[in-house]
Structures are given as C-alpha cells and as structure tokens.
Homo-oligomer: A and B are copies of this chain.
Amino acid sequence: MSATSGTNRSTEASDTGPLTVSNVMLLDTLWASMVSLYADLTSAAAAHGLTYSQAKALNVLRQGPAPMRALAGTLRCDASNMTGIIDRLEARGLVYREPSPTDRRVKNVVLSEDGAAAVSSIRAGMHGTHQALDSLSDAERSTLEGLLSRLFVAEDDRAS
C-alpha cells in the first residue's frame, strides 16, 4: 500500500529532497485535468441533449447489460437515483429494461442501437480531449495510459 520511499502526502513541501515531486502540485494538475475532461464530456453529451450522468450510464452499458443495482454501484450513486436516469434514457429509446430470467426482482438495462450510436458519437465528440491527445507522441500516449491505468483502473477493482 504505502510506498516505502517518498511519503509525501500530509507532510510539508519543505522536504529538501530534489527528487520529490510534491503531491500538492500533482493534485492540482490532476484536479485541473478532471475538470477539463468533465467539461469536455459534458459539452459533448449536451450536443446530443444528454447530461453527464446519462452519458456515464450509457458508457458503462457499452460493456453489456447490467442490473440497476450493479449500475448504481459502478456509478457510485444511490439505487433510487438510477431509476430516474434510466427512465429518461428509456423514454428516448437509448436503453430498455428487460426482466431477468433468473431473478424476478432484477431488471437488466440494455443499450439499444440508438444508445450505442449516441455514446459512440459522444466519445468522438470530445474534441478538446482528442485535440489534446493529438499533441502527444505514441510513446507518450502509451506512458500516460500505463500510469493512469495503474493509478485508477486498478483502484476501481480494489474498491469493488
């Protein structure tokens, strides 16, 4: 868990080590990156009349149908919340509910063809992000991919 080398969190930047990159700066950069991605995704979704949360739900469903409960867990929100979000997506035909054959309590949410097209279009419409990525070399993209995967994708597995 805790890296034995540089314990830089919660300590001061007064650490004189030249190798230490203060997590304060990195946290600022991560924060700014998140805000930028969030804005880009939100505006790409808005171009289709969809919200950030709706786009997030559609994106998760790309990987296959999922029960309401699992969706809520993945999106880290209350189950009662999913009802409204899926209601609105269903009203637009981007998604539909299907009773589970094995458990009558469960309703599986399935991405429709229109829904798949919408989420693809939203991902393609994140122009700010695509444009930014184009300024990196292949090697840099690969490096970034590796670092972020270790940071956050693995973290998600741990949490779930």
- The closest CB in chain B to the CB of A25 belongs to B145
Interface flags, A15-56, vs B, CB<8A=1, else 0? 001011101111101111111111101000000000000001
Contact flag A152-B33 (CB < 8 Å), given A1-B134, A134-B1: yes
How many A residues face the partner with a CB closer than 8 A?
Answer: 67
Q: In the complex, what residues of B have CB within 8 A of residue A30's CB?
A: 37, 129, 148
Of chain B, the residue at the smallest CB distance from A75 is B35
Q: Are A156 and B36 in contact (CB under 8 A)?
A: yes
Instruction: Report the minimal beta-carbon distance from A131 to chain B, rounded to whole angstroms.
Output: 7
Give Cα A35 to B10, complex, Å. Answer: 24
Q: Is A100 part of the binding interface, using a Cβ–Cβ cutoff of 8 Å? A: no
Partner of A145 from B3, B21, B143 at Cβ < 8 Å: B21
By a beta-carbon cutoff of 8 Å, the part of chain A in contact with chain B is: 1-10, 17, 19-21, 23-27, 29-39, 41, 56, 59, 75-76, 120, 123-124, 126, 128-145, 147-153, 155-156, 159
